[in-house]
Chain A
Amino acid sequence: MSLQLFLLVAAGLFAIGLYGALSQQSIVMLMMGLELMLNGIILAAAALWYFLTPAGNDGPVLIVVVLTAMAIEMAAGFAVVTAIYRSRQVDVTDSAADLRG
């Protein structure tokens, strides 16, 4: 149990989430990838707090912020999916490429 091992697990979760967010067509699966990336950040914040500055409170506060970000991401993401599905019956990212430049 060391800082490096914890951070490696966190980096693994982040990389897997990145793969999902980039490769999935379904918007819901894309959001799962984003959640997995934030999951890795929670683990990294907890490990950095415990192994480097356990006396302070910055790590736990960062975890609270990330948990809130996860909730906001889910809620806003599903609201956008609902809006675009209602107007255009779009449920995959490839059909919503209007802003592609």
Chain B
Amino acid sequence: MLADVSFWVLGIVAVLSGFAVFRLNSMARVTFALLASFLAVAGLVVLLGLGYLGVVTALMMVIEMVVMAVFMIMYMMNPAGLMPMSMYHNKAGSMAISVGTFAVLAVGILLTDWPVRRGVPAPAQTYQLGLALMGGQMLTMMTLGVTLFATIVATVVLSTGRGRYDRYGDDLAAPRADDPAGGGVG
């Protein structure tokens, strides 16, 4: 009973606040609407017995949304939403594609003859997940690690304004850095 009520409340919050993300004007409200959607999904994941992953999702998303708010203020043309303006392109086509996608998925979900449940969750699910990640799924974990490292390198390279090749020339042979401002700050 409690689980049913929680499911409906969290499910409706997740979908409605997800939709509000693309309807609200103020960027602060948009960020918090997206955060509410993520927290509702984290709650649903906890409801399904994955307490650890639910809490990890919640913690990660809180930080991610705060970072996102900073970038929004940096890059959005209308961060405060004080001046109502349209920031859409091809709204009708996007809506048609999205409603069509949902319809196809819903038909598949409702018509599929889902298999019956096999087995029960392990008593210590987080422990089992840790064993899997450090054992049978080690290749997954290593791939994730290498991908994250590549992301660190790529993001630093992409977002650096003036790197050492700009400062010391293509062969890094300049005796002094070619800086617009002195002091070695690039």
Residue numbers of A with Cβ under 8 A of B are 1, 3-9, 11-20, 22-29, 31-33, 35-36, 39, 42-43, 46-47, 49-57, 59-61, 63-65, 67-68, 70-72, 74-76, 78-83, 85-86, 91-94
Chain A residues near B99 (CB, 8 Å)? 15
Known contacts A26-B76, A43-B44; is-contact A13 B121 (Cβ 8 Å): no
Known contacts A13-B18, A29-B87, A57-B132; is-contact A18 B144 (Cβ 8 Å): no
Is the beta-carbon distance between A11 and B102 smaller than 8 angstroms?
yes
- Quote the shortest CB–CB distance from B40 to chain A (angstroms): 9
- Chain A contact residues, majority secondary structure: helix
- Quote the shortest CB–CB distance from B145 to chain A (angstroms): 9
Is the beta-carbon distance between A19 and B151 smaller than 8 angstroms?
no
Contact with A along B1-12 (1 / 0, CB 8 A): 001100100010
- Chain B interface residue count, Cβ-Cβ cutoff 8 angstroms: 77
Q: Is B182 an interface residue (CB 8 A)?
A: no
Compute how far the CA of A35 lies from the CA of B17 in the bound complex, rounded to whole angstroms.
13
Q: 7 A-B Cβ contacts within 8 A?
A: A19-B22, A28-B72, A32-B34, A35-B38, A60-B129, A78-B155, A79-B159
Is the beta-carbon distance between B87 and A26 smaller than 8 angstroms?
yes
- Quote the shortest CB–CB distance from B2 to chain A (angstroms): 10
Compute how far the CA of A53 lies from the CA of B95 in the bound complex, rounded to whole angstroms.
35
Contact with A along B144-180 (1 / 0, CB 8 A): 1001100110111011010000000000000000000
Compute how far the CA of A72 lies from the CA of B128 in the bound complex, rounded to whole angstroms.
26
Is the beta-carbon distance between B154 and A76 smaller than 8 angstroms?
yes
Chain B residues near A9 (CB, 8 Å)? 11, 14-15, 44
- Pick from A17, A18, A64, A75: contact of B133, CB under 8 Å: A64
Compute how far the CA of A81 lies from the CA of B67 in the bound complex, rounded to whole angstroms.
14
Q: Which 7 A-B pairs have the closest CB atoms?
A: A55-B119, A19-B98, A15-B102, A23-B94, A22-B94, A79-B155, A11-B105
Chain B residues near A47 (CB, 8 Å)? 48
